[in-house]
Structure 1
Amino acid sequence: MTDTTVVHLLRHGEVHNPQGVLYGRLPGYHLSENGRAMAEVVAKALAGRDVVALFSSPLERAQETAAPVAQAFDLEIRTDERLTEAANVFQGVVLGGMFRVPASYRHLWNPARPSWGEPYIDVVQRMRSAVVTARAAARGHEVVLVSHQLPIWILRLAAERRRLWHDPRRRQCGLASLTTLTFEDDRLASVGYSEPAGALIKPPKLHKTTRRR
């Protein structure tokens, strides 16, 4: 008999970030009020599903997104470092600012690796490893993993056998979205995508750039 295991990769909700900082792995970045509403919407959308385990990145925004899911299913949040955000040398810079500072150019020479952060292949490997652990914990059922846009999107590209190098503006991984991997035994049978909280997503704001001296 075939075991069907469903892995839901949940991106965190909207973050309170009025300065438009590329926060990466920095501590202290929490969900906004709208982001908390997104997390509640996703938990309600998952209600009635056969979710038996919940894993999350250690970062605050991910843990806060996981909380309503944990409450809805009476589950413990299992923190997994492999689900964390990708490392980035521009962490702490205002979005877009790196393109206006000549000193930053030395980090932009190779978008395929990428040269400004954690190699895509390393992200794929740790995310795949996290999914293997999650599948083992929920074999024949469903599991939710709360992570971040780049790790989720890179894993999806790898799962669909597409190139890892991509235009970040074209990622299909909105706030509080679900990228769903369905496995038949150990075979990936399908990849799905949904935005339960799509109605709460606001258009991006433009931010002034702070120049580095």
Structure 2
Amino acid sequence: MIKHNKNSRLVHLVRHGEVDNPEGILYGRIPGFKLSERGHMMAQLAADHLADSGRKIGALYASPLLRAQQSAQPFAEKFGLEVNSAGALIEPKNKFEGMRTRGVRAALQDPAQWPKLWNPLLPSWGEPYARIARRATRFMDYALQEVEACQIPGDVVLVSHQAVIWVAHRKLNGLPLPHNPAKRRCELSSVTTFEKRYGRWREVAYVSPAQGLIVSGKDTGAV
């Protein structure tokens, strides 16, 4: 259940569904990584969840990467919207892109890659957490302002990636941005919901509509 002021507009940060990635590649911003068949089902469950909650969606934005665009399609069809591409929602750039998550070529098992790990607080292997937080939260502000300025009824859905959503969550909840990527609470096709009251964002809900599919799914390749 979403606990919020019933008259408020909400912004829902939705993670993409499972990616077709049998080789376990750290895909980052590499183009062409699409949803698996199960990933499409996960994305549909996320859209169904918001529709079943009774929320009206007035605007839909997604990262330009294929897996996010595909994950946004069920929302577009369910609510009769266009998918607006937003570079601010894209996966963070990462120096391990193209490497494997397991096996002899696994990034963290290759001593040649260890210098990239010199500062996990930044992090040194990719886009700084502070920059991710800034672009994500600024876009949340922008998207909300757009629907209000245009007097478009309904909430906003932003389809993005695990790192972007989790760093925004930490920033808006007053938590330190450095974290262990293996312990993010941001499952495939999860929905993290925010409300802005008195000029401040607050998180009002987190749900995992595709939980039943995640048990048998593969969540590899995120950076």
TM > 0.5 fold call: yes
Say which of 180, 189, 193 aligns to 1:176. Answer: 189
What one-letter code is carried by the residue in structure 2 that aligns with 1:88? N
Who is 1:211 aligned against?
none
Write the deviation string for residues 79-110 of structure 1: whole angstroms up to 9, x where unpaired. 00000001100001001512111111110010
Match of 2:63 among 36, 57, 63: 57
Match of 2:139 among 117, 125, 130: 130
Q: Give the alignment of 1:48-197 within 5 angstroms.
A: 48-96=54-102, 97-139=106-148, 141-197=154-210
Structure 2 residue 13 is the aligned partner of structure 1 residue 9: yes
| Structure 1 alignment gaps of length 5 or more | 208-213
Q: Secondary structure at the match of 1:132?
A: helix
* Structure 1 segments of 4+ aligned residues over 3 angstroms from their partners: 202-207
Distance 1:206 1:67 in 2: 20
Assess, with a 3 A threshold, how the Cα gap between structure 1 residues 68 and 205 changes in structure 2: closer, same or farther.
Answer: closer
Distance 1:205 1:184, change over 3 A: closer
Question: Shift in Å at residue 200 of structure 1?
Answer: 0.8
RMSD: 1.9
Q: TM-score scaled to structure 2, two decimals?
A: 0.87
Question: Cα deviations across residues 110-150 of structure 1 (Å, max 9, x unaligned)?
Answer: 00000000000010111011101111123373110000000
- AA matched with 2:118: W
How big is the shift at 1:5? 2.0
Matched AA of 1:28: G
For the structure 1 residues 190 and 202, does the alpha-carbon distance in structure 2 shift closer, same or farther, using more than 3 Å as the test? Answer: closer
Letter in 2 for 1:44: D
Partner of 1:20: 24
> What amino acid does structure 2 have at the position aligned with 1:91?
E
How many Å apart are 1:49 and its aligned residue? 1.1
**Partner letter of residue 154 of structure 1?**
V
Count of residues in Structure 1 that have an aligned counterpart in Structure 2: 206
Secondary structure of 1:17's counterpart equals coil
Whether 2:37 is the aligned partner of 1:33: answer yes
Q: Structure 2 regions of 5+ residues with no counterpart?
A: 1-5
Contact 2:172 2:202 in 1 (8 A): no
Q: Which amino acid aligns with 1:130?
A: F
Maintained 8 Å contact 1:25/1:59: yes
Residue identity matched to 2:133: V
**With structure 1 as the length reference, what TM-score do the two structures score?**
0.91
Instruction: State the shift of 1:8 in Å.
Output: 0.2
Q: Tell me if the contact between 2:18 and 2:218 (Cα under 8 Å) persists in the aligned partners.
A: no
